[in-house]
Structure 1
Amino acid sequence: MTATTVATGPIYSTFGDDPDMGELVDMFVGEIPDRIAALEAQFAEGDLTRLGQTAHQLKGAAGSYGFPCVTPVAARVEAAAKGNEPEDRVREALDELVAMCGRMRAGAGQ
């Protein structure tokens, strides 16, 4: 087993200093709890089709709003859900995505 370092600090949008994008990024980050709730509900219901679709939407949106590091993590959830991976693998990918989304912040950061 290989040890990995799990980052825990905030993730700021690459558009943090862009006045034209600030309000949009704020709105996107504000919607993240609802997106996470939807993903969790879809997993709990065993609706892997919808889970894959929601992860796909988040994959594209995160990159568009300046969070490119979220894109590959959402892609893993999408692939696990659409590939009918075992439940524990889907859960593992989803947990990683939920943790990363919980770190997303609007603004310019430090």
Structure 2
Amino acid sequence: MSEVKTEPVAATFAESEAAFFDENMRTRVPGALLVISQDERPTDDGSEYWYYSCPCGCGAAGAVRVKAGEKPAQSPSWHWNGSKETPTLMPSVHHIGHWHGWLTDGVWRSC
């Protein structure tokens, strides 16, 4: 699949797995985020897993391991600014072979 560029897309948090996935386990809303709780997927360092919906709208989903205020030691992982209203992740998110960009201040932007 070739690299896809998109216009900025707002990141939104889904309130439930049902709101994030359709019956085929493909994501619905471009740029949506779903937090996986410690109960569902425990980590030893207090980090969280987030599913994300590809911002281009293709329906592909990926996952990132994040922690507020620091980058978890286990890779791959992302530093999260701690805000769910205007989340920022560092470094960039690369959905290999398809999309590469940044989530900054609650907006997905292609590189």
Query: Does the TM-score normalized on the shorter chain lie above 0.5?
Result: no
Q: Which has the higher strand share?
A: 2
Q: Which structure has the larger Rg?
A: 1
Bigger RCO of structures 1 and 2 (CA < 8 A, at least 6 apart): 1
TM-score interval w.r.t. the shorter chain?
under 0.3
